[in-house]
Amino acid sequence: MALRVRGRAWRLGDGISTDHIISGKFKYQKARLEEMLPYLLHEIIPDFYRKVKPGDVIVAGKGFGYGSSREHAARLLKMAGVGAVVAMSVHRIFYRNAVNVGLYIAISKNVPPATETGDIIIVDLDKGIVGNETKGIYERLPPLHPIVKELLEAGGLEGYVASRGKLPWEADNLTSHP
């Protein structure tokens, strides 16, 4: 599977927390994850879940995804059809949760500040490029760790285990003890 996304930008600022993405107050009010979709980014972009199209890209500044360790934030973005997140920096736990659900993350210095909502963004993790096609700004990405690439190609941790029958860090030669 190619790790390439091309979509419309949704420009957010700095310091977008997991509570901005999906408020923690909905965690216990809604029984199923799907019921939380109407509240995705609701305080920043009302009705975002109705407006977002498959493959659209969140473009943010510094500190994207700080806060709780709930994977709800990354999973709901993926469920809504967000194809990737391009940010100046992403908090580690959000990055890990995003990879686990198969959501592409690209760290970029130049693309976010130049991007406006509606610009066309590309994220090509195979070629190692992120760009704003509308503005003609492109930036090289560092190579992905092989395990991260495999997880993204499989659509996340669940897809990886379903297709391979084991976790990515389990060595082929591991045996159980009697």
Mind listing the pLDDT tens digit for each residue in 114-154?
A: 999 999 999 998 899 999 999 999 999 998 888 899 999 99
CA distances from 30 to 20, 25, 150, 163, 173 (A): 17, 9, 32, 31, 43
| This prediction's pTM | 0.89
| CATH superfamily, region 4-164 | Aconitase, domain 4 (3.20.19.10)
Listed in order, strand segments (DSSP E) in 45-128 are 57-60, 84-87, 104-107, 120-124
Domains in the chain: boundaries = 4-164
